[in-house]
Amino acid sequence: MPGRRTRPRTGLTREKIIDAALAYVDEHGLTALSNRKLGAALGVEGMTLYYYVPSKAALLDGMVERLLELSAGDLFAEPSGPWTDVVREFAVALRRMLLDHPAMLTVLATRPAATPAALALLERGIAVLREDGVPLADGLNVLNSVVRWTLGHTLGEVGETPHHEGTEPRPEQFAALDRDTYPHLAQAFATGEGLDSEQCFHRTLRILLAGYAAELELAKGAGS
Does the predicted TM-score (pTM) go above 0.85? no
Higher pLDDT, 222 or 130: 130
Instruction: Check whether 1 has a pLDDT greater than 80.
Output: no
CB atoms within 10 A of CB 40: 13
Which pLDDT score is estimated for 193?
Answer: 80
Q: What are phi and psi of 109, to 5 degrees?
A: -75, -30
- Of the listed ranges 69-73, 113-117, 186-190, the one predicted with least confidence: 186-190
Q: Report H helices in the chain.
A: 14-28, 35-42, 56-77, 83-100, 105-110, 116-131, 136-158, 183-191, 197-223
Average pLDDT of 51-61? 92
CA distance 108 to 177: 36
